[in-house]
Amino acid sequence: MNTSRRVFIRAATALGTVAAFKGASFAQELAPKPLDILVLGGTGFIGPHDINYAKSRGHRITMFNRGQTAPGLFPNVETLLGDRDGQLDALKGRDWDAVIDNSGFYPRHARLSAELLHGHVDTYMFVSSISAYGDSLTVEHDEFSAPAATMDDPNDESESPYGPSYGARKALCEQEITRVFGDNAIHVRPGIITGVGDPTERLRHWLRRMLAGHEILVPEADENLPVQYIDAVDMTAWMVRLLEDGGSGPYNAVGAEEPYRARPLLETIRDALGSSSALTWVDWEWLSAQVDEVPGYAPWYGVGPMPFMQVNNDRALATGLTFRPIGDTARDMVADLPNVAAGEWRGGFDLATEAALLGKWHEEKG
């Protein structure tokens, strides 16, 4: 998969993460049977959503992490300190019903945790990625027919977690876990995850401009291009219910039921926020000629033959994955904007550059 279309997500800052979950609403219905769930990670982006929803269902949670990101986020949740890279002693001699692995990026780490937990955990749920599919993915493929991404040296750990071999390493992590847990392994393959706590500007870029009422420049790669966001709230709630119901195997966690389309997606978000912003669709070739590099701030990842935004989610839908309207996601993220830590990555043009480009576009196009 090309780097320009990968999901590059940093861990949220402690301030942003803690604030992100104030006032969040979760299901009040208790699960039929409370589970003891181990979460590897827990304080980044999706981990807190997992934990809050699981707790609301009556499950008992233990976290395992290094204690470096937002260490005070869950003062009433047991935290075991260690490291994926061989420092797993805190997990020895303990039993859980299930583990949610949010922090596996290298196959060796996945192998170490899977082998240590085998016999002490019934179900191993691994958060993978649709980047785990190879470049020959088509819209006809499902979880079992799509080819896996590969890399020349499966043991190479020289790259950062989100480096060019991110997808291949996720595929290898899946293989290590399945080798140990077999049918008791669950692989969640999300695409672009957003919502409260999202540490990127992929959606927030548009929200800030809509709130200010600015005219907004939108790269016109294709106004009908499919876009598959998933709200972290929807995804993690489904993950917990999948553990309760006894899922098995891989699931594409993308959606909604049908891919959004770029123009109606942005118009729906704008209308949900009550914004007066005009969306000005600017020709991609013209835009590329004006600047050295078009920043990757569109809500999609480039245009090409690989259907990165048209991944089949029938299997997840059949097991109860549901979606809130994208307008609700936008409103939740807007409510959280005051809590977003200063200095987070900012995507797209700055306002001055955007205004200058829009002025030139209108002048040239009349």
Is residue 133 within 8 A of residue 141, CB to CB? The reply is: yes
Is residue 298 within 8 A of residue 347, CB to CB? The reply is: no
pLDDT tens per residue, range 186-226: 999 999 899 999 988 888 889 999 999 999 998 876 678 88
Which pLDDT band, with edges at 50, 70 and 90, does 346 fall under? low
| Mean pLDDT for the stretch of residues 174-182 | 98
More confident residue, 342 or 284: 284
pLDDT tens per residue, range 37-85: 999 999 999 999 999 999 999 999 999 999 998 888 999 999 999 999 9
How far apart, in Å, do the first and last CA atoms of the chain sit?
A: 39
Least confident stretch, 18-32, 53-67, 131-145, 178-192: 18-32
Task: Output the pLDDT for position 5.
Answer: 27
Q: φ, ψ for residue 77 (rounded to 5)?
A: -110, 130
Task: Output the pLDDT for position 99.
Answer: 98
What CA–CA distance (Å, rounded) separates 103 from 157?
15
CATH number of the domain to which 313 belongs: 3.40.50.720
Least confident stretch, 132-141, 175-184, 264-273: 132-141
Q: H helices of the chain, where?
A: 14-20, 46-56, 107-117, 166-181, 204-212, 232-245, 262-273, 284-290, 314-318, 326-336, 351-365
Residue 50 buriedness (CB in 10 A; 0-12 / 13-18 / 19+): buried
Which pLDDT band, with edges at 50, 70 and 90, does 278 fall under? very high
pLDDT > 80? residue 11: no
| Mean pLDDT for the stretch of residues 343-363 | 82
Give 190's strand partners.
253
Here the tokens at position 105 are 């990026």
Task: Output the pLDDT for position 345.
Answer: 58
Here the tokens at position 236 are 């993690």
Percent of the chain with pLDDT over 90: 67
Q: What is the pTM of this model?
A: 0.89
Q: Which domain holds residue 139?
A: 3-365
* Mean pLDDT score of the chain: 87
pLDDT > 80? residue 285: yes
DSSP state of 13: P
Task: Find, among 8, 4, 42, 71, the residue nearest to 345 by Cα.
Answer: 8
CA 274 to each of CA 170, 198, 230: distance values in angstroms, whole numbers, following the listed order:
40, 22, 22
Task: Output the pLDDT for position 344.
Answer: 57
- Domain total in the chain: 1
Here the tokens at position 188 are 């969640």
What CA–CA distance (Å, rounded) separates 68 from 184?
30
CA angle 240, 1, 115 (to 5 degrees): 45
Is residue 1 within 8 A of residue 308, CB to CB? The reply is: yes
DSSP 264-317: HHHHHHHHHHT----EEEEEHHHHHHHSS---S-SSS---SSS-TT----HHHH
